[in-house]
Every structure is written in structure tokens, then in C-alpha cells.
Amino acid sequence: MISEVAILTSANDPQTISCWDIRSGAVLGTLKGNKSDQRTASPIHLPGALAPAMLAVAQNDRAVVHLWSWSKGQLHSKFVVPEKLSSLVVSNSGLYCVGGGLSGRIYVWELQTGTLLRKFDAHYKPVRALRFTPDDTAFLSSGEDSVTNVYLLASVFASLSDPNYPSHSDVCTPVASFSGHVLPITEMVVGAGAGFGSGVRMFTASLDRTVKIWDPTHPTPLATLLFPKPITSLAVDPSETRLYAGASDGSIFRADLYRRETETAGTGIVGLREGVVEDGDAGGAVFRGHSQSVLSLSLSFDGTLLVSASEDGTAIVWDTVSLQALRTFPQQKSPITDATVIIKPAELMDASVHHTLPVVKSFKTFQQQQRPGSAEDGQARFVEGRIVVSAVSGVSEVSGLGGLGWGGGEMSAIWLCSESLT
């Protein structure tokens, strides 16, 4: 039977990650050895799997990423990273990990080799949110500088295939950039869709009391919702017809993105008006139960339950229709920084269940030279019609269309090129 689990992380004490059944309230287990901030926990999925195979969390007291498997409560492994990370996300395919630092720099790792593929300056202040598009062709970053950037993976990896591109460049130009907020962005959500340029929408929340809805191919927001309090967390239901905005005073506002047009001529369902600032709490639907800032929100997969985590040390499961609190998880001594709803892994706290773990190597803290003309590990040489990539454990010669694939080594990048070896 498929069930859903809430993964709750804490900032300090107790130094654990709690796993709760969101419908029964039963404690399913704890993962020990964690101190993390908002938006620094990310599940790692195997391709095609509903439940994640592992959990990666960046720690708030040092420049380290911790990795847990579900079958035991002890730490599986930990990796040193170049700086303390203020945000972390793993791609939907489980191939890449992107971390955002307090410096505003972004780091991109390949999980199977641990290779630091790129690092570049993205924001002037800490990176507070990172998200991949559903098809992993792009990722988005939001920071305290009030800017959201969109990066195509093809552009990020340009230095791996272009002999004229500086391999150690600290600059990566985003394909799109949005600066509609006037105060720091606190949360970002990427909606459903094939990917960048195919109708996917993104939602950004800010301390300026607004939530903005964007089409990544448009320079201006599709709509803006104004709330009574600064917004510190955000969740959007699977159909993208409602959003939930957690505020600095502990309130959670429910806003309908589509409403029945009864107050004007005609009837039917209409959306928000483009470019117009709407009253986010016009419907009066407010969840009240927290006494301090709501740090994280996560919806069940059918959108009927909402899990909220607060600075007051509590986590609450809400009915999204009645606005009633169904259960409150026991209060902790420190803020609950992240609440993530996942499909329950079959091996959760049960080592006897056979399961496959993804290959995750220790993260490198420095970027290797990637100059063409050499066949050293992690480097490439150009041959007419194909590119030869030397992987970590061998060399693969492959030709064909751009993409990723496996050859004689662990993992090989494949590009179609027409340059001759010099």
C-alpha cells in the first residue's frame, strides 16, 4: 500500500530528522546527526521510482552535506563542500546536485562521480531557493538579492564541450532573469510542465508581502498576489489552482488562482488578471495554529493535506478544504526548518527489505581542468564527428546526438561536433 511520509528537519536540537505518517500521525523513524536550515534538504530518486532512495541535507554549522539511506537511522556518508550551503536540490533524475552558497555562488556536482562540474557567481547575496524544471533541462535560483535566475543545463555545461570556453569561468549567463521583488525572496516553486519554454510556471514568495507568478519566457509577472504579512514559505497544489503562503506571524493564507466570476456579467471560471496586483487573502481562508514564522509548507500528492513547519518548533497537518488542524506533531526545542512530503520508501527503518541505492561519490571541492586535447580523467578531446570523454574509471569513445550515456567508463557525455583534433 502506498502511503505518504512527512520528513521534518530541525535547526539544532534535537539533531534528528523525523519521519511521520501524515495520515495516522505514527512515528516511522528518525535519522540522527542533522542540523539544517530551510530549503537545504533534498530527496534523491532513482529513475522511474516513486519513493526516493536517499536523502541529502546541507548542514548549517559547517560546510558539509550529509547523506542518509532510509533503512537505518545512522548517517550513511558525509561530504565536505567549498562553503556552507544555504540551499540544495537534487535533479529529478538523481544525476546532479546543485548547491547555493551564502556567498551567492552556485555549485553543480555530478552525483555518480562526485565531480564538481561548474561553480559560478549567481547572486550578490545568499542563494535561498533552488529548483529543477520537471524535465531537468534547466534549474532556477532565487536569492536574498531579490532576483530569480533560470539556467539551462546545456549552458552550464558549455565549458565541457566548447574548446573556446574558459573552463574555470566564474560567470554563467542565465537564459532568463527576473527582478520584480523589492525585498529578499524566501521561497520558489516550479509548477508542472515539460520544462523551460513549454508552459511551465514558477511562483516566487518574498518578504515584500507578495507572491508573483511567472512564465519563465516572459520578463514581467503573469500575476501578483499581495498579502498582509511578509511571506516566508509557499506551496502550490498539483493542479495549480490554489497556493498556500506561510507568513512571518504564523498565519497560512490560501489563495484561489481561479475563481467563479459571479460579481460581474457572465459566469464561468476565470483566472487571475495578467499584470494586476490581487488581494491574496480576499477569500478569508487562513490557517491559524503557529505562533511564529512558517518556515516550510508541503502538500500531499492529492492536495488534500498540507504540512506546515514553524519556527515555534511545531509541525501541523491541515485539511486544505476545512482549514482544520488534523494533528500536531510534538513540539521541538528548535525550529523545524523543512517539511517535505514523500512516498514512503519500502525500506524505511527496515534493513531486511531489498533495495537499490544510487551511486553517490564524495563531492569534490575543486573544479578540474577541462581543456580539450587531453585524455586525462574528466577531460575531453575532440575528434571529427564525435567527442571522446575520459570518465573516472575509463575512456569512452561515443558518437551521436547530444546527451548523456554510459560507455566504457562510468559516465560519458556525448556531443555531436565537427572539429578535428589538433
Residue 386 and residue 262 share a domain: no
pLDDT surpassing 50 at residue 304: yes
DSSP 8-state symbol, 134: T
Q: Does residue 160 lie within any of the structural domains?
A: yes
Write the pLDDT tens digit of every residue in 134-190: 999 999 999 999 999 999 998 888 766 666 655 555 788 899 999 989 999 999 999
pLDDT for residue 61: 92
Give the per-residue pLDDT at 379: 39
Model confidence pLDDT, tens digit, residues 408-418: 333 333 333 33
Dist CA 236 CA 298 (whole Å)? 9
With respect to residue 317, please indicate whether it lies within any of the assigned structural domains. yes
Q: Identify the domain boundary among 325, 343, 361.
A: 343
For residue 4, the cross-strand partners are: 343
- Domain end: 296, 327, 343, which one? 343
As a whole-number percent, the residues of the chain with pLDDT over 90 amount to 53
What pLDDT is recorded for position 11?
86
3-state secondary structure at position 327: strand
Q: So what's the pLDDT on residue 373?
A: 38
The verdict on 253 and 395 lying in the same domain is no
* pLDDT at residue number 278: 61
The CATH number of whichever domain residue 214 belongs to comes to 2.130.10.10
Same domain, 116 and 223: yes
Average pLDDT over residues 184-208: 87
Residues 74 and 132 in one domain: yes
Q: How far does CA 107 lie from the centroid of its chain?
A: 14
Taking only the tens place, the pLDDT of each residue in 58-78 is 999 999 999 998 888 788 899
So what's the pLDDT on residue 258? 78
Give the HSE-up count for residue 397: Cα atoms under 13 Å, Cβ half-sphere: 6
Q: Where are the beta strands (DSSP E) in 11-137?
A: 16-21, 27-32, 41-44, 54-58, 64-69, 77-80, 85-90, 96-101, 105-110, 116-121, 127-132
Please count the structural domains in the chain. 2
Q: Which amino acid is at 12?
A: N
Q: Which pLDDT tens digit goes with each residue over 258-271?
A: 765 554 455 555 55
Q: Catalogue the E-assigned strands of 102-143.
A: 105-110, 116-121, 127-132, 138-143
**Residue 99: count of CB within 10 angstroms of its CB:** 30
What is the spatial distance between Cα 396 and Cα 294, in angstroms, rounded to a whole number?
Answer: 49
pTM: 0.82
Q: What is the Cα–Cα distance from 358 to 379, expressed in whole angstroms? A: 24
CA gap 112, 120 in Å, rounded: 21
Judge whether 354 lies within some domain: no
- pLDDT at site 273: 55
The pLDDT value given to residue 343: 93
> Percent of the chain at pLDDT above 70?
76
Q: Is residue 357 part of a domain?
A: no
What is the rounded distance in angstroms from the CA atom of residue 397 to the CA atom of residue 118?
23
Quick one: 269 and 383 in the same domain? no
Structural domain harbouring 398:
371-422
pLDDT for the residue 329: 87
Residue 364 lies in a domain: no
Q: What is the DSSP string of 244-304?
A: EEEETTS-EEEEESEEE--SSSS-SEEEPPTTPEEETTTT--EE---SS-EEEEEE-TTSS
Mean pLDDT over the full length of the chain? 81
| 350 belongs to a structural domain | no
Residue 279 shares a structural domain with residue 391 = no
Q: Does residue 254 sit within a domain?
A: yes
CA–CA separation, 2 vs 84, rounded Å? 36
H or E stretch covering 158: helix 158-161
245 or 387, which is more confident:
245
At 6-50, the pLDDT tens digits run: 999 998 877 889 999 999 888 898 898 899 999 999 999 988 788
**pLDDT (mean) for 378-392:** 35
Residue 42 has a pLDDT of 96
Which are the contacts of 306, defined by CB distance < 8 A and separation ≥ 6? 235, 244, 252, 287, 297, 298, 299, 300, 317, 318, 320
What is the structure's pLDDT at 346? 85
Q: Which 8-state DSSP code applies to residue 106?
A: E
C-alpha span between 337 and 333 (Å, rounded): 12
* Whole-number pLDDT of residue 340: 95
Of residues 206 and 358, the one with the higher pLDDT is 206
Q: Is the pLDDT reported for residue 300 higher than 90?
A: yes
Q: Do 10 and 139 belong together in one domain? A: yes
Give the residue from 76, 42, 39 showing the smallest Cα distance to 60.
Answer: 39
What's residue 281's pLDDT? 62
For residues 22 and 164, state if they share a domain.
Answer: yes
Same domain, 322 and 205: yes
Given this model, what pLDDT does residue 326 score?
95
Q: What value does the mean pLDDT take over residues 333-340?
A: 92
Q: Kind of pairing, strands 85-90 and 77-80? A: unpaired
- Please say if the pLDDT value at position 120 is more than 80: yes
**Structural domain includes residue 201:** yes
pLDDT of 324 > 50? The answer is yes
The pLDDT value recorded for residue 330 is: 79
pLDDT of 310 above 60: yes
Q: Residue 422: pLDDT band by 50, 70, 90 thresholds?
A: very low
pLDDT of residue 270: 56
